[in-house]
Structure formats: C-alpha cells, structure tokens
Amino acid sequence: MMSYKFALDEINTKIDILKQEFQYIHEYNPIEHVKSRVKSPESILKKVYKKGYDLSLSVIKENVKDIAGIRITCSFISDIYELSNMLQNQPDINVLEVKDYIKNPKPNGYQSLHLVLQVPIFMSDRVEEVCVEVQIRTIAMDFWASLEHKIYYKYNQAVPQHLLNELKEAADSATQLDKKMEGIHKEMKELKEACNRQVELNNLPQLILNS
C-alpha cells in the first residue's frame, strides 16, 4: 500500500508542475480540481472476489490496476486531451492502457478519459513499477458521474428503468453543454490571438525605427 501512495505522490507532483507551467506560459489553467485516493484493503479484496482472481499479492498487482487512482477535472474537452498527451509524453511514464469514454461513451452515458500509467518508485533497496489509474473529465462529466454513483448507491444497484432513461438524457445534455462551452472557449481564444496580432502590428513601426 505504501508503494501505491508513493506512486500517487509522483503523479500528483507531475500534474502540479504541468498546472503551474501552463499557468505561467499561457496565463490559463486547464485543471479545475485534482482528487486522489488509494483503495482500502477491503475494497481491493471485494474486487478480487468479484473478478475471481487468486488471493495473492502478485496476482492482485498484475490484475487490479486502479488501486491508486487520480481524478482530474478540466474546464473543456480539449483540455482533457492536451493534459493526457502531456502526461503520456513524459519519458519515465509507461502507458499501459487508454480508454476513451468521451469519443465512445458507455451505454449509460458515462464519459471520461481513463489512463493506466506505470511509474517507477525508487525505494532504498529496489525500484518498483507501480500502476496508477488517471481519470480525466470535464466539470459537467464529473457532476453527472457523481450523481449517477449516488443514485446507484441509494437503490443498491437496482435503479428503476425510468431513472436510467433520465440519467442517459442528463448525460446527453451534459455533452451538449460541454460542446457549447468548447465552442465559446475556442472563439474567445481566437479573439485573443487576433488582438495580440493587432497589437504586434501596431508596434511594428516603432520597432523598425528603434532598430
């Protein structure tokens, strides 16, 4: 469990560095929230029994990839893919799996980008390669997923069909909201770039005189 905690610390540090660098260079922060957790031993055992795995440390480490998990909430869909690329391109990260539930949502409407990343943890006498599952989603996706989880918990997984239908409609509405906000974000970015180009053109004569 200690190794998984260290792996979370490692990935969290990488995310924080990217967040600060992005803010400094682009004057914009694509990350709204970051939440991390290590599964409890009880939760791990429950998953092992559910999947029918052998009860051994080696089997658990090989098959249970979400013992350490990080959830990143971004402002826009484009931020999700940009952040994902920045993480995947780091040389000490080994990308084991990518599941894109944004381009291919689950039947119930769930959307998120899932990455299973493997990072080296340098202990005093060895190096361990530890898996961390990273989920990246927008605020709207995260809001929907949180409520969906609460509803399933309340009904003990037996959710009435009419509520399932309404959840799917809500997921579709969240998708439309994300697309609308993405369009506004893109337009504002283009306006800012155009203004910057105009400022540069206005300053060009003075720059030529000074040279």
**CATH number for the domain that contains residue 65:** 3.30.460.10
Question: Which are the catalytic amino acids?
Answer: 133
Where the chain has pLDDT below 70, the residues are 157, 204-211
Q: pLDDT tens-digit profile of 14-65?
A: 999 999 998 888 778 889 999 999 999 888 888 888 888 888 888 888 888 8
Residue 168 lies in domain: 2-190
Number of domains in the chain: 1
Can you give the pLDDT at residue 176?
A: 93
31 occurs within a structural domain: yes
Q: What SS3 string covers the chain?
A: CHHHHHHHHHHHHHHHHHHHHHHHHHCCCCEEEEEEEECCHHHHHHHHHHHCCCCCHHHHHHHCCCCEEEEEEECCHHHHHHHHHHHHCCCCCEEEEEEECCCCCCCCCCCCEEEEEEEEEECCCCEEEEEEEEEEEEHHHHHHHHHHHHHHHHCCCCCCHHHHHHHHHHHHHHHHHHHHHHHHHHHHHHHHHHHHHHHHHHHHHHHHHHC
